Structure 1
Amino acid sequence: MRQATAGLIAAGALLSACAGTPAALRPQAVHVATPETKGYLSGPRIQALADAVPPPPVAGSPTDLADKARSARFKTLEDSDRWLLATAHAELRPPLALQHFDCTLGVRLGSATTPNLNRLMQRLFHDSDAAAELAKARGFRPRPVGDDPERRPCQRVSEAGRKSASYPSGSSTVATVYGEAFAALEPQRATEARRTAHEMGLSRLVCGMHYPSDVAAGETLGKAVFDAASDAPGFEADLAAARTELAAARATGLTNPGCASERVALATPLP
């Protein structure tokens, strides 16, 4: 049963290759951004958002030790259904990553033509990814898989990826921005959209790619990035165009066949 469920999770998510935010973790073959794609925010605005992120926990501090203790407990989920869902959540770039919200929204975005939605999310990805990378450059904290070379990640990770910075979680930053965007697109499903974004952040704990404080900081940064982007010129027009496409996708009546297995995976108690 577990293997059948795991297959549905992988198929339902259409995971083609695991990817993380740092360049060292990105398989370029599935990068869908065009060279001219830009975000909503200026460089100085992104830098200011990054500068507002508090420094990472000091090594050996109570917070650091608590992070490491909880991270170690997540090893018990290796090869579980929740672990395999985390492998799917590792893909963060539009349009593939948007399908993580299929079950929450009751649509099948992989079967829909949504260029405006994709563009909206790509621009938000640009801003959130850039902010997280600038914040990471201000204070290095190793990843769980970097602190423990024997730790199994749930995605393919190079040596450079293992040694890349963990704080704040760029994955959580991006996921939170997506969740806020879908909450704005469909306010009646806002709670569910934000919950899905949070689960994507928790997946990084399951994967051994981030510590709890990294994820929490990424979520805070993601909300700040979205708030700033939502005030930018052109954002409301892009949101309206994406909302029309999302409604059209729902009108097809198609849903993601992996939703049942996703519910099983999300029901797994976390340590």
Structure 2
Amino acid sequence: MISTTLLFAEERNLESQTPNIKLGLVQGYLDPKTLPDFLKLIPNAPVQDSAKQKLDNAVSQKYLALQGTSRWELAKSDADLTFPNAAETFSCALGVPINKKQTPRLYRLLQRTLTDAGLATYPVKNYYQRVRPFMLNREPICTPEDTEALRRDGSHPSGHTAVGWAWALILTEIAPDHADAILARGRSFGESRIVCNVHWNSDVAEGRFVGAAIVAKLHANSQFLSDLKRAKKELATLYAKKVKSSNNCEFERKALALPKEK
């Protein structure tokens, strides 16, 4: 059994090992210079009147029907990548709480991989500076306080989706018995960006590609692999103690069960 004192000591040790960088993010595992060249790997952002853009328009129009529903509220929560909120994203899928006190190693692993996957999208975002759906359809977004920042931030590919899909793949490895629920939540996390009216369907698809590529790179990183093993032990302890998630999992289940069209 891990005592509270040891947990707090572990927490302090993790914080000293992974200093904060810009925007409140902690240092990732990967050297940005070693990342795949996503400008060469990701297709061009769809152009106006192309078949891909017409498909994006159609998908966005369908998801607009979810404004004001519980799915819209879940998408709003998914938009918040700050911790501790983001740590609990997969809590219902896993069936256990994810927080700084009970799962310090997994908590820090999620923080560090957020940096790796999220920032990996920026060379492509900055190159294309694709406009976001709300800038064209003039419909609301689920986080209106972010409007001006999002106007300046390229849409292609989706950074949130890259993060969410990377987390889904990592957590599937940590808790394989919950794989279906984890992967479904990872998929819906990316779809939340379409629900929010801030990303196109093709942005989300390419975000998943970035997330998967980053996870592949992480598996060649010894520190990540070490933390992965420790995170597995943390979850095994919670499962053995039958500790349950404290999230409103019924709300999440119902929100994700809503159809995409009214």
Give the TM-score of the pair, scaled to structure 2: 0.84
Q: Is the 8 A contact 2:72 2:196 kept in 1?
A: yes
Q: What is the SS of the residue equivalent to 2:141?
A: coil
Letter in 1 for 2:45: P
2:139 to 151, 161, 179: 151
Instruction: Measure, in 2, the Cα distance between the counterparts of 1:50 and 1:186.
Output: 33
Structure 1 unaligned spans of 5+ = 1-32
Instruction: Measure, in 2, the Cα distance between the counterparts of 1:104 and 1:39.
Output: 24
Partner of residue 78, structure 2? 89
Matched, 1:160 2:149: yes
1:234 to 196, 215, 223: 223
Deviation at 1:140, TM superposition (A): 1.9
Instruction: Measure, in 2, the Cα distance between the counterparts of 1:120 and 1:201.
Output: 20
Query: CA RMSD, aligned part only?
Result: 1.9
Matched, 1:52 2:41: yes
Partner of residue 35, structure 1? 20
Q: Is the 8 A contact 1:94 1:121 kept in 2?
A: no
| Percentage identity across paired residues of the two chains | 32
Moved more, 205-214 or 182-191: 182-191
Matched, 1:187 2:176: yes
Matched, 1:253 2:243: yes
Deviation at 1:94, TM superposition (A): 4.2
Q: What's the CA shift string for 1:55-111, capped at 9, x where partnerless?
A: 211222011011012212222111111111111111224442121111111112248
Instruction: Measure, in 1, the Cα distance between the counterparts of 2:108 and 2:40.
Output: 27
Instruction: Measure, in 1, the Cα distance between the counterparts of 2:62 and 2:79.
Output: 20
Instruction: Measure, in 1, the Cα distance between the counterparts of 2:167 and 2:153.
Output: 23
Q: What's the CA shift string for 1:220-267, capped at 9, x where partnerless?
A: 110011111111122211101111222233325232341111111111
Partner of residue 119, structure 1? 108
Matched, 1:131 2:120: yes
Matched, 1:106 2:91: no
Matched, 1:73 2:62: yes
Partner of residue 197, structure 1? 186
Instruction: Measure, in 1, the Cα distance between the counterparts of 2:260 and 2:39.
Output: 30
Partner of residue 27, structure 1? none
Moved more, 202-211 or 182-191: 182-191
Q: Is the 8 A contact 1:136 1:165 kept in 2?
A: yes
Partner of residue 9, structure 2? none
